[in-house]
Amino acid sequence: MSFKVQVNDQLLLNEDFFNHHVDVDPKYIMQIISSNMPNYWSWGAHGATNLNGKGLRIAVNGLIHKGFVYIVVNGLDLFDVYLTDKKNTIKNILSMVYFDELAERLDNAIEHTGATYGQDLEKEAQRINAGLN
């Protein structure tokens, strides 16, 4: 599998970058991030991809973030998360994330907009419905 992630025009994440991370079973990451299935589903998550045993990439379509999420384990056995757009330009980085906070931190970066979440969902539903007419 070949992949490249860029910040502006500078290559930042590539196969060599991921080779410097700890081996991790992508199924383990999936167990953690899908522990709250309604939240996971709300991200529009699909297309989970094994990063050669170094992590997991998923495609998402959330209210806050649309694109890819790369999840790897660093040398301290903590998660590093890279949120990119569909062209693999990094938009956000979550560093040093403990396993028990991974799902919640992802939800806050991908979907959950805080106190206005219900209103934001309604606006998104109206936007989608307007596009269907």
Per the CB < 8 A criterion, the answer to whether 89 and 6 are in contact is: yes
Provide the domain limits for residue 50: 4-132
Helix (H) or strand (E) holding 133: none
Helix (H) or strand (E) holding 106: helix 102-110
pTM of the prediction? 0.85
Which has the closest alpha carbon to 17: 97, 84, 66, 67? 84
Per the CB < 8 A criterion, the answer to whether 57 and 68 are in contact is: yes
Per the CB < 8 A criterion, the answer to whether 71 and 79 are in contact is: yes
Token representation of residue 2? 């070949």
pLDDT per residue as tens digits for the range 71-130: 999 989 999 999 999 888 889 999 999 999 999 999 999 999 889 999 998 998 898 888
Looking at the 3D structure of the chain, how many domains does it have? 1
Mean pLDDT of all residues belonging to the chain: 87
pLDDT per residue as tens digits for the range 21-74: 889 999 999 999 999 999 999 999 999 999 889 899 999 999 999 999 999 999
**pLDDT higher than 80, residue 10:** no
